[in-house]
Chain A
């Protein structure tokens, strides 16, 4: 017999209590991991930002358009190697109340946008087909899978920002370079939008949502930003130029209250794990006061007692943690399948696993501290008199 066997037998002494403790910890660890995954998913766009891309938008908000004429002026700025543009389209696909039907629809410059985003992988033929047809669109692989879109399909959209009925023909399906790439977008030709707007709402044509700038040297970004914004300072549409990461961050910050709440809740969950475990360990140690006194009388050292109590705590915490992590993956996958476009990137990251494991381990250690101290402080002769 080894001491570990004694730890195991002690843990299984009250099977129902241990089982409930493990289940409690596993649910808490799973909830913690899920919260962290949601928070990570929220920041996925920020994390996936390229270091050499910048975004120029209207200084008030990106919902205000910028003139297309800015493109050539920006392209002439030293340090800017490429300029593209995009425009948020909005609209409704089928039933708006169904989350599955929500996906970003963005009008882009077909000649430059895909070059600007090398993380979007599309075949040469499909890209050529997309560039050829004015009402063509490219669909992200995840979106295509979710709504069963295929090349050649027509996607009808009811416009809201741009009223009217719109139809787009799927000419290609792009894939992400890695799993952090957003595969839930529909990209279509901005020119199609511009031509239709010219007919339907004269006066709104020739405007884009934002410009994307590729800079030769990322260290020049602040200089480029200043030049661009100074250039249009006294124009009708003043600009704000920032790194792509800052641009993405500004979207995230719109939800900062929710994210902060989730962070707070995730820490509350850690507290719950700790309380559940500490309650069990305190009860166990108190019930075994006499047994620990006997062990001390037999010559077992403080180190052994720490090992026995700490080991039991760690065994419960790690079992609960492992079960919680085992539950996290299918639940996260299930969530991602049910709401594929809600979070374009929804993966359980290594850091989330590490944090969940650390949470369980640290909880196991902390929960054992007070019962261990109490047991060690109890004199052997007093412990032998204890009624368990």
Chain B
């Protein structure tokens, strides 16, 4: 069953009066529970496609449906609410807030929910337990290694129990050992918790973990 449907999506950027096409008539489906790897050379449009799927950018043309919701028709406010409920973000550089502890960083998305403080605490502790950081709950990002920071970021991504995760080069800033741990964690989230994952990567080892690979080149699927 298809969770995400990308239908003839094109995306162009404008530099002054010059149109720069990035994606050109992309169409494909991502089934529920899939672990998709998006690969391609720099500038091929991988991250742009990921951003479109995650609802943080809008296509110039085409539609993106997630669970039958055409997210390209939502206004900014509704799109923000939709992201909060349905998408978990994992960034290359973790993007944790340095002034917040691991617990507080993971709790951030839950502040948008109606959960009580007690329920939020339970959710955060469970997410941090899944990523194996229960003992680092009150540590600040500066007190964590790169791999640990990325695990906190993954905990933040899953704490709201989103229907899919988007990961942009999740191992791009990590050493080999840490990268392997992160990939195992993503595999576990996919297999054990049935999370659909869309991952952009350059790393062939990371790509090996994906169940489905799509290659982008010059804005087109190859």
The complex places the Cα of A379 from the Cα of B82 at a distance, in Å, of: 17
| Cβ contacts under 8 Å, A297 to chain B | 54, 56, 83, 89
Interface size class of A (residues with CB under 8 A): 20 to 34
- Provide the residues of chain A in CB contact with B99, threshold 8 Å: 6, 9-10, 12-13
| Contact A380 B57, beta carbon cutoff 8 Å | yes
- B108's partner among A10, A298, A379 (CB-CB below 8 A) is A298
A300 to B97 CA separation, bound complex (whole angstroms): 14
Q: Could you say which residues of chain B place their CB within 8 Å of the CB of A294?
A: 89, 91, 95, 97
Q: Establish whether residues B77 and A299, one from each chain, have CB atoms under 8 Å apart when the complex forms.
A: no
Residue of B77, B97, B156 ringed by the most chain A CB atoms within 10 A: B97
Q: Does B144 contact A (CB under 8 A)?
A: no
Q: Which residues of A contact B130 (CB under 8 A)?
A: none
Chain A residues 251-305 with CB under 8 Å of chain B are 290-291, 294-302
B109 adjacent to chain A (CB < 8 Å): yes
Is the pair A302, B56 in contact by a Cβ cutoff of 8 Å?
no
State whether A9 touches B100 (Cβ < 8 A).
Answer: yes
What is the CA–CA distance of A68 and B140 in the complex, to the nearest angstrom?
86
The B-contacting residues of A in range 1-21, CB under 8 angstroms, are 1-3, 5-6, 9-10, 12-13
B91 touches A384 (CB 8 A): yes
Q: Could you say which residues of chain B place their CB within 8 Å of the CB of A379?
A: 57
Contact A296–B108 (Cβ < 8 Å): no
Q: A294-B91, A297-B89, A299-B83 are in contact. Are A1 and B57 (CB under 8 A)?
A: no
Q: Which residues in A have their C-beta under 8 angstroms from that of B156? A: 298
A151 an interface residue at 8 Å Cβ cutoff?
no
Task: Identify the closest chain B residue to A2 (Cβ).
Answer: B111
How far is it, in angstroms, between the C-alpha of A297 and the C-alpha of B166 when the chains are bound?
11
Known A-B contacts A1-B107, A13-B99, A290-B95; A298 and B83 likewise in contact (beta carbons under 8 Å): yes
A326 at the interface (CB under 8 A from B): no
A301 touches B77 (CB 8 A): yes
**CA distance in complex: A160, B183 (Å):** 97
Chain A residues near B83: list those with CB within 8 A. Answer: 297-299
**Which of A2, A295, A381 is B51 in contact with, Cβ under 8 Å?**
A381
| Interface size range of chain B in the complex | 20 to 34
Between A3, A10, A384, the greatest number of chain B beta carbons within 10 A of the residue's beta carbon is seen for: A384
| Complex CA–CA separation, A70 to B194 (angstroms) | 105
For residue B138, CB closer than 8 A to chain A, the reply is: no
Q: Is B112 a contact of A1 with CB atoms below 8 Å?
A: no
Contacting residues, chain B, for A296 (C-beta < 8 A): 56, 80
Do the beta carbons of B100 and A300 come within 8 Å of each other? no
Bound-state Cα–Cα, A301 to B112, Å = 9
Interface of A is mostly: helix
Per the bound structure, the CA–CA distance linking A302 and B76 in Å amounts to: 9
Which single member of B48, B84, B107 contacts A299 (CB below 8 Å)?
A: B84
* CB-based nearest B residue for A376: B76
Closest to A8 in B: B99
Distance in angstroms from B153 CB to nearest chain A CB is 10
Given contacts A294-B91, A299-B83, A300-B80, contact A380 B112 (CB under 8 A): no
B104 within 8 Å of A by Cβ?
yes
- Check A1 against B104 for contact (C-beta < 8 Å): yes
**Which residues of A have CB within 8 Å of B80?**
296, 299-301
- Determine if B85 is an interface residue (Cβ-Cβ < 8 Å): yes
B176 at the interface (CB under 8 A from A): no
Q: What's the Cα separation between A295 and B91 when bound, in Å? A: 13
Q: Closest Cβ of chain B: how far from A143's Cβ, in Å?
A: 57
Interchain CB contact under 8 A, B112 and A300: yes
Residue among A12, A298, A384 with the highest chain B CB neighbour number at 10 A: A298
Write out the residue numbers on chain A whose beta carbons fall within 8 Å of the beta carbon of B98.
13
CB distance from B115 to the nearest CB of A (A): 12
Would you call A295 and B56 a contact (CB within 8 A)? Answer: no
Q: A298-B83, A299-B81 are in contact. List 15 more A-B contacts (CB 8 A).
A: A9-B99, A10-B99, A291-B97, A294-B89, A294-B91, A298-B156, A299-B80, A299-B82, A299-B85, A299-B112, A300-B112, A301-B81, A380-B51, A380-B56, A381-B48
12 examples of A-B residue contacts, CB within 8 angstroms:
A290-B95, A291-B95, A291-B97, A294-B89, A297-B56, A298-B156, A299-B83, A380-B57, A381-B48, A381-B51, A381-B56, A384-B56
* Contact surface of B with A, Cβ cutoff 8 Å: 48, 51, 54, 56-57, 76-77, 80-85, 89, 91, 95, 97-100, 104, 107-109, 111-112, 156
Residue positions of A touching B, CB distance < 8 A:
1-3, 5-6, 9-10, 12-13, 290-291, 294-302, 379-381, 384
